[in-house]
């Protein structure tokens, strides 16, 4: 029954003009919709109730005795409906106040991150890849370093005779919080660097017997195949060796574990010995596609994963799959360059599901998490506070 039908039946019921069928229909609707309702927490509930009872007593004294019981029932129904309507008004006002509170909580919204990074050349010169124009940025040992129209940093051989010296000439690309960048190395391998990360690499691999890069933070790699020269990603705690494959390495310093996720091909993951981090630990593991190695302390385990969740950041999305709030907010902190605080430490353990674009403002992501009803957020400057 819609609102208009209910209103019409209500009027007829009070007027005593309902047919037997209409009476049964109205009373059935009343029992279903209103009998189970608790008293709404209205500030003026008692006053409203007293006003209704006063009206009922006034009408009661004017009734004929033989109609008293029936009309009392009708008036009681009307009183219930009036109370529910009042409750509806209260909840409407409460919702409006909630919207005002929400507007205040998100008055200082935060924009998402974007493509920005700093390139440090071998001579120490720093180039902001955000501010520099497209085109060639520098030349080093026969290698051209250029920025493409879509923002990629590309290394290409200009003079093979000189490029061999590039194996000892290193560059570094570093993304700030709220930044990301894509690099195409001299061998054609592609690197997507996530926020608050850095990668150090030789400008040329031509005369090297291996292709080694050093990573801090998170990056996704699509490695050009070369059986003669394995591609090695070294972090502070492990090395990953491949010939040609697609994989993701998450090695942020503020994370408890280092995670390597394989999408295609095969990789060998080796923890570095705690006593001597320059030597590989013998307990290495070979990953197959859709597997992830997790290095916690000196223990290296392998688990199956949904790779689309892991590399969602590369595709411009946040994907949370039963993920703890603490883990989610670390990603949010890096991408939006905000500090996250918790009013209650237990909130960190809450888990959430969801998908949202990384191009959205932070408020939209936080509101998505708030739909669960067990978490709320407030933004003040660059500080986001999570509250019950």
Q: Within this chain, do residues 219 and 299 fall inside the same structural domain, yes or no?
A: yes
Mean pLDDT of 3-8: 66
Q: Which of 75, 105, 135 is the last residue of a domain?
A: 105
Number of domains in the chain: 3
**If you average pLDDT over every residue of the chain, what do you get?**
81
Q: Is the pLDDT of residue 13 over 70?
A: no
Q: Rounded to an integer, what distance in angstroms lies between the CA atom of residue 62 and that of residue 85? A: 26
Strand partners of residue 268: 241, 286
Paired tokens of 165? 């010296």
Both 179 and 204 in a single domain?
Answer: yes
388 three-state secondary structure: coil
Give me the pLDDT at residue 293, please.
97
Q: Which two tokens stand for residue 43?
A: 């500030």
| Distance from C-alpha of 140 to C-alpha of 156, rounded to nearest angstrom | 10
In this structure, are strands 246-251 and 317-324 parallel, antiparallel, or unpaired?
unpaired
Q: What share of the chain has pLDDT > 90, as a percent?
A: 58
C-alpha span between 299 and 320 (Å, rounded)? 25
- Whether 99 has a pLDDT exceeding 60, the answer reads no
Model-level pTM greater than 0.95? no
The boundaries of the domain holding residue 100 are 3-105
Domain identity same for 128 and 86: no
CA distance 262 to 380: 39
Give the pLDDT of residue 20.
75
Say yes or no to pLDDT of 86 above 60: no
Tokens representing residue 228 in the block:
């003669």
CATH, residue 281:
2.60.120.1440
Residue ending a domain, choose from 250, 279, 310: 310
Look up residue 208 and give its two tokens. Answer: 């090297």
Instruction: Tell whether 131 and 70 lie within a shared domain.
Output: no
Task: Quote the CA–CA distance of 313 and 82 in Å, as a whole number.
Answer: 52
| Whole-Å CA distances, 11 to 7, 17, 26 | 6, 9, 11
Domain identity same for 101 and 132: no
Looking at the structure, do residues 330 and 192 belong to the same domain, yes or no? Answer: no
Mean pLDDT of 261-290: 82
Residue 174 and residue 243 in one domain? yes
Q: What is the CA radius of gyration of the chain?
A: 33
- Cα 333 to Cα 38, 161, 325, 339, 348: the distances in Å are 42, 45, 12, 6, 14
Q: Which two tokens stand for residue 131?
A: 């501010």
> Would you place residue 387 in the very low, low, confident or very high pLDDT band (cuts 50, 70, 90)?
very high
Both 246 and 324 in one domain: the answer is no
Residues 89 and 137 reside in one and the same domain: no
pLDDT in tens, 110-146: 999 999 999 999 999 999 999 899 999 998 878 899 9
Q: Are residue 200 and residue 231 in the same domain, yes or no? A: yes
Whether 128 and 74 share a structural domain: no
Based on the domain organization, do 15 and 52 belong to the same domain?
yes
Among candidate residues 283, 310, 337, the one where a domain is terminated: 310
Q: Tally the C-alpha atoms within 13 A of residue 270's C-alpha that lie toward its C-beta.
A: 16
Q: What is the pLDDT of residue 93?
A: 46
Interatomic CA distance for residues 91 and 106, integer angstroms: 22
């Amino acid at each position: 029954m819609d609102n208009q039908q209910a209103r019409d039946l209500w009027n007829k019921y009070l007027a005593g003009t309902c047919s037997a069928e209409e009476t049964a229909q109205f009373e059935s609707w009343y029992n279903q919709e209103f009998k189970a309702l608790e008293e709404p927490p209205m500030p003026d509930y008692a006053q409203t109730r007293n006003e209704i009872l006063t009206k009922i007593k006034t009408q009661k004294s004017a009734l004929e005795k033989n109609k008293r019981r029936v009309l009392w029932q009708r008036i009681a129904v009307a009183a219930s409906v009036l109370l529910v309507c009042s409750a509806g008004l209260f909840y409407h006002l409460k919702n409006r106040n909630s919207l005002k509170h929400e507007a205040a909580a998100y008055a200082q919204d935060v924009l998402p991150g974007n493509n920005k990074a700093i390139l440090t050349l071998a001579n120490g010169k720093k180039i902001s890849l955000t501010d520099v124009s497209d085109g060639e940025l520098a030349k080093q040992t026969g290698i051209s370093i250029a920025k493409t129209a879509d923002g990629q940093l590309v290394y290409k051989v200009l003079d093979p005779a000189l490029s061999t010296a590039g194996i000892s000439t290193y560059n570094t690309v570093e993304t700030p919080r709220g930044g990301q960048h894509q690099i195409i190395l001299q061998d054609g391998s592609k690197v997507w660097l996530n926020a608050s990360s850095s990668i150090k690499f030789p400008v040329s691999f031509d005369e090297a017997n291996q292709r080694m890069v050093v990573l801090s933070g998170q990056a996704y790699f699509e490695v050009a195949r070369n059986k003669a020269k394995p591609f090695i990603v070294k972090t502070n705690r492990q090395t990953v060796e491949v010939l040609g494959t697609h994989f993701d390495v998450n090695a942020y310093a503020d994370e408890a574990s280092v995670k390597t996720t394989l999408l295609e091909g095969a990789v060998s993951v080796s923890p570095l010995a705690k006593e001597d981090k320059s030597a590989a630990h013998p307990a290495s593991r070979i990953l197959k596609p859709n597997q992830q190695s997790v290095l916690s302390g000196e223990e290296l385990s392998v688990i199956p994963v949904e790779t689309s969740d892991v590399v969602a950041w590369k595709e411009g999305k946040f994907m949370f799959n039963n993920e703890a709030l603490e883990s989610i907010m670390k990603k949010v902190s890096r991408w939006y360059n905000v500090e996250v605080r918790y009013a209650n430490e237990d909130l960190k353990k809450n888990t959430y599901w969801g998908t949202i674009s990384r191009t959205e403002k932070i408020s939209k992501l936080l509101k998505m998490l708030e739909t669960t009803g067990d978490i709320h957020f407030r933004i003040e400057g660059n500080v986001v506070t999570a509250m019950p």
